Amino acid sequence: MIPIGSPFITFLIQNNLTIQQYVVLYCYAYNKIESLNKYDEKFKFNWTEIQGLLRSGYLALIEDCDFEECRFDNLKSTRKNKIFIKSLVDSFDDAKSEMLLSEDEDVETIALDAYEQDFQVFCDTYPRKVLRHNGKESYLRENRKLCKDEYVKLLRSGRVSTTDLQRAVSHYIDTKNKRGDLCWIKTMLNFLKQEIWADVIDDINNNEPENRINYGGRMV
Instruction: Please list the pLDDT of the chain residue by residue as tens digits (220 residues).
Output: 456 778 888 889 999 999 999 999 999 988 889 999 999 999 988 888 998 999 999 999 887 666 667 788 889 999 888 878 877 776 555 555 555 444 544 545 555 666 887 888 899 999 999 998 888 899 999 888 899 989 988 887 878 888 888 889 999 999 999 988 888 999 999 999 999 999 998 888 886 444 333 434 333 3
Q: What SS3 class is residue 127? A: coil
Nearby residues of 135 by Cβ (< 8 Å), 6 or more positions away: none
> What's the pTM?
0.54
In angstroms, the CA 75 to CA 114 distance is: 23
Whether the CA torsion 48, 51, 55, 57 is positive or negative: it is positive
The domains of the chain are located at 6-85, 91-212
In angstroms, the CA 202 to CA 216 distance is: 13
